[in-house]
Amino acid sequence: MNLKANELRIQNLVLCSPIETPQFIATIEEIGEKKARIKECKQDPIIGYLEYDFISPIQLTDEWFLRFGLHKDNYGIFEWVKDGGEYCSGCVVEFWVKRCFIDDEWVFDVSVGSDFANTVNFCYVKYVHQFQNVFHSKTGQELETTP
């Protein structure tokens, strides 16, 4: 599945597959009509333009949620503490994410609310850039990743 310009935001993480080059993860730096400016996520990054035909979404996994700083509870539900603080018992959680099987595929149910008993389903996501976009739309913040 290739991405289109209208699905992306600056700072989205994507999978790049240029011809005759190994795949790599990059950050979107600029969105053009036919190409995006990308920056490879590594110490000495490649920066350049790549056509959308060679840009794909990254499948969300538990590891990605942990890298974004979410806490995984004993039931397998990921929690984001309001304002990105450290997780603690009794702290205010803003996002709740759980894996679910809908329409013959696994997706992540993103819910919002002050506690799990009072959450409202916000949307379903499958890809890293989708979760980044949802998070930004609700908080106005960018998700930071840990290496």
Q: Is the pLDDT of residue 87 over 60?
A: no
Give the residue with greater pLDDT, 107 vs 114: 107
**Tokens at 84, concatenated:** 């990105």
pLDDT of residue 43: 76
**Tokens at 45, concatenated:** 């990054």
* Averaged pLDDT score across all residues of the chain: 86
Provide the 8-state DSSP code for 102.
E
pLDDT of residue 140: 84
Contact 116, 109 (CB under 8 A): no
The b/e string for 60-79 (b: 16+ C-beta within 10 A; e otherwise) is beeebbebbbbbeeeeebbb
pTM: 0.87
Rounded Cα gap, residues 65 and 61, in angstroms:
7
Q: Considering only CA atoms, which of 73, 61, 67, 71 is closest in space to residue 107? A: 61
pLDDT of residue 92: 60
